[in-house]
A and B are shown apart, each in its own frame.
Chain A
Amino acid sequence: MNNWINQHVQTIKLVLGRMQNNAVSTFMISLVIAVALSVPGLFYLGVDHLSKFTNHMQDETQISLFLKLDADKDAVQEVEALLKKNKSIKDFHLVNKENAWQTLKNKASAANETDSKVVDLEENPLPDAFFIQAKSTEPDALETLKQELQNIPSVEHVRLNTEWAKRLSALLTLGKKIIFFITTLLAFALLVIIGNTIRMQILTQKEEVIVSKLIGATNSFIRIPFLYAGIIYGLFGGVLATIMLMLAVMAFNLSVQALSTLYSSDFSLPIINSDLFIGIISFAIFIGWLGSSLAVSRSIASIKID
């Protein structure tokens, strides 16, 4: 066992030493792997974050109900009573126009917008509003509920919040499929690239392969260093890809920050997404191993001794 480990450690040292001697080409191949993986990785980050965002939206208020601007306290209570009686409503809360007005003004002054018109307004432009969560999330059930609520006399407008979120999440599902497709294509390209690199290495080390065969090395013994080379390329490429992703996210967050302060939001992407990073690195290692093992068996068999 010890011997076995020792042998693998020796092999890895040998492979790393060779890579050090060809540092530039090692870096190049790692860079190719990194670029090929960071493209779908970046897409994934965006789509994943947006879909979390929309899921969150869907969990929240599903229906916004706005009363007429001239509705008085009685009308509000009347609607509240109706909502309480309605069996398809799970929960709701009232935001009256004074509170909403105050919140809006606070937000505007907090955002320090000098050209904001909100503070200059003399009259409250906002209606009383109910934010309702239905028991069902089915679109049909929500539509019936919406109609029902629309018929209450003092109600101005009922809006289903989830509609756009649903559309977005459908789009995001499509986006995920596209990512999967791109990743598959790039994985094939990587297999070819890694396979070719390993094939070239086998040819440059033809002498060693021949000598090893002559002194009784099994094919699997000859294969091992090349398999490790593939795996290490994958590892380097994967790590490089995660570094590139982190840099891209940082740059993205910087420019988004300016935008999101304008919208008084704190939207930003997390810089470290450990699941994705572990996924990318293991995928890169797998591709490296697969690419080299596909190349190695045929190349080594094709080298004839003497």
Chain B
Amino acid sequence: MIKFDQVTKRYPGSNEALKNASFTIEAGELVFVTGHSGAGKSTLLKLIAATEKPTSGTVLIANQNISKLKPSAIPFMRRKFGLIFQDHKLLYDRNCFENIILPLHINGITGNEASKRVRAALDKVGLLQKEKAMPITLSGGEQQRLAIARAVVCRPSILIADEPTGNLDAGYAADIMGIFHAFHQVGVTVIVATHDALGMSAVQNRVLHLNQGQLTQAQSGFDGVHHE
């Protein structure tokens, strides 16, 4: 599903954010990307989401080399992903419902079918009652759940979350992690970047640990756990 081969990313005027990273993520896995801030977690996720291109090496997503994608093909590649950000990236000039319907419109889905799917997504994250509310009136945890609803409304096969619990207190964070586990259980590939070791210590899942751009525990997987 996702294959990194000797991937290096260097931003102009800085050190390598990612050095010679090689790993594979299979469909349906739940993977945590850990490391201190600045260790290259965000870079890794951006490479997966095709918002950055590698300086060297190859990134294959569903057998497509993202370095060789035409600019016009990138939007369609991104539709395979549901992206979740630490700062939510919600649109504050429209209500919850309208925020969630945007990806559906981008995919050309409108009308009743779109409304149904918006409500299903809001229901999944427990915000069905808030569809008319403006995002600014929601709590931090609710805003993050809204962002998750937006990421999953198009039923992507891969969910990518960059520090989704970074700004949340422990209760909300556990909530969010619960939602990710639920998606993992129905077969969605979930990739979560977090510096929050506590949140994941409880669960035994595959971890990609980054230290100053170096992937240190890439293949210390728990294959046995996954394929059960």
List residues of chain A with CB under 8 Å of any chain B CB: 2-4, 6-7, 10, 207-208, 210-219, 221, 305-306
List residues of chain B with CB under 8 Å of any chain A CB: 46, 49, 51, 72, 75-79, 81, 83, 89-93, 102-103, 105-111, 150-151
Q: Is the CB of B89 within 8 A of A216?
A: no
A-B contact pairs, 13 of them (CB 8 A): A4-B108, A6-B110, A7-B105, A212-B102, A212-B106, A215-B83, A215-B150, A216-B75, A216-B79, A217-B75, A218-B106, A219-B75, A221-B106
Contact of A216 among B78, B93, B111 (CB under 8 A): B78
B residues within 8 A CB of A215?
Answer: 78-79, 83, 102-103, 106, 150-151
Bound Cα distance from A213 to B83, whole angstroms: 11
Bound Cα distance from A93 to B20, whole angstroms: 103
Least Cβ–Cβ distance between A9 and chain B, in angstroms? 9
Bound Cα distance from A218 to B78, whole angstroms: 10
Q: Is the CB of B89 within 8 A of A7?
A: no
Bound Cα distance from A219 to B107, whole angstroms: 13
B residues within 8 A CB of A219?
Answer: 75
Bound Cα distance from A214 to B46, whole angstroms: 10
Given contacts A211-B89, A216-B106, A217-B75, contact A305 B51 (CB under 8 A): yes
> Closest chain B residue to A205 by CB distance?
B93
Q: 7 other contacts beyond A216-B77, A216-B79, with CB at 8 A cut-off? A: A7-B105, A10-B110, A211-B91, A215-B78, A215-B79, A216-B76, A217-B106
A residues within 8 A CB of B75?
Answer: 213, 216-219, 221
Bound Cα distance from A216 to B150, whole angstroms: 12
> Closest chain B residue to A8 by CB distance?
B110
Would you call the interface of chain A mostly helix, strand, loop, or mixed?
A: helix
> Closest chain A residue to B49 by CB distance?
A214
Bound Cα distance from A210 to B83, whole angstroms: 13
Q: Is the CB of B46 within 8 A of A306?
A: yes
> Closest chain A residue to B80 by CB distance?
A216
Q: Is the CB of A10 within 8 A of B78?
A: no
Bound Cα distance from A221 to B103, whole angstroms: 11
A residues within 8 A CB of B83?
Answer: 214-215
Least Cβ–Cβ distance between B115 and chain A, in angstroms? 12
A residues within 8 A CB of B49?
Answer: 214
Q: Is the CB of B106 within 8 A of A214?
A: no
A residues within 8 A CB of B92?
Answer: 207
A residues within 8 A CB of B79?
Answer: 215-216
Q: Is the CB of A3 within 8 A of B91?
A: no
Bound Cα distance from A213 to B78, whole angstroms: 9
Bound Cα distance from A138 to B90, whole angstroms: 76
Least Cβ–Cβ distance between B139 and chain A, in angstroms? 21
Least Cβ–Cβ distance between B119 and chain A, in angstroms? 17
Given contacts A3-B110, A305-B51, contact A10 B91 (CB under 8 A): no
Given contacts A305-B51, A306-B51, contact A216 B110 (CB under 8 A): no
Least Cβ–Cβ distance between A204 and chain B, in angstroms? 10
Bound Cα distance from A215 to B75, whole angstroms: 8
Bound Cα distance from A10 to B78, whole angstroms: 23
Bound Cα distance from A10 to B109, whole angstroms: 12
Least Cβ–Cβ distance between B78 and chain A, in angstroms? 4
Bound Cα distance from A218 to B72, whole angstroms: 7
Bound Cα distance from A164 to B44, whole angstroms: 82
Bound Cα distance from A216 to B83, whole angstroms: 10
A residues within 8 A CB of B93?
Answer: 208
B residues within 8 A CB of A217?
Answer: 75, 106
Q: Is the CB of A214 within 8 A of B78?
A: yes
Least Cβ–Cβ distance between A34 and chain B, in angstroms? 28
> Closest chain B residue to A213 by CB distance?
B75
> Closest chain A residue to B109 by CB distance?
A3
Q: Is the CB of A208 within 8 A of B51?
A: no
Given contacts A3-B110, A7-B110, A306-B46, contact A211 B72 (CB under 8 A): no
Bound Cα distance from A146 to B153, whole angstroms: 88
A residues within 8 A CB of B102?
Answer: 211-212, 215
B residues within 8 A CB of A210?
Answer: 89
A residues within 8 A CB of B78?
Answer: 214-216
Least Cβ–Cβ distance between B43 and chain A, in angstroms? 11
Q: Is the CB of B111 within 8 A of A3?
A: yes
Bound Cα distance from A133 to B210, whole angstroms: 100
> Closest chain A residue to B101 by CB distance?
A10
Q: Is the CB of B89 within 8 A of A214?
A: yes
Least Cβ–Cβ distance between B137 and chain A, in angstroms? 18
B residues within 8 A CB of A2?
Answer: 111
Bound Cα distance from A207 to B91, whole angstroms: 7
B residues within 8 A CB of A208?
Answer: 91, 93
Bound Cα distance from A219 to B76, whole angstroms: 11
Least Cβ–Cβ distance between B225 and chain A, in angstroms? 31
